[in-house]
Amino acid sequence: MQILLLYDALICHLPSPVTRLHRAIALGQVLGPQVALDEADTLARDLDRYYLYHATRAALLRELGRTAQARQANERALGLTVNPAERACERPDAEIADG
């Protein structure tokens, strides 16, 4: 809860979409993955070209058992980066099996 409160304070000073995405992740730790996903989805327009937005969505969707959608989000994240280290971090998720 304390981290969420710190992100709330940070947003007052730095209300960027990335800060709001980080807050959504913290929110998920307090209120669960669906709440975090709902919050993250409000950032879609601002962060559509940011691979970590899609990687975050993939992780949340996996937590919710929505594997097909998680795979799509992960593929989008992979498509947005050419950095080998970033791609390696996302690669295992590309193997998500439909369930």
CB neighbourhood size of 36 (10 A): 25
What is the model's pLDDT at position 82? Answer: 78
| Mean pLDDT confidence for 51-74 | 96
Whether 86 has a pLDDT exceeding 90, the answer reads no
Provide the CA 9 distance to its chain's centre, in angstroms: 20
Q: How much is the pTM?
A: 0.83
What secondary structure does DSSP assign to 49-81, as a single string? T-HHHHHHHHHHHHHTT-HHHHHHHHHHHHHT-
Residue 88: per-residue pLDDT? 67
- What are the tens digits of pLDDT across the range 10-44? 999 999 999 999 999 999 999 999 999 999 999 99
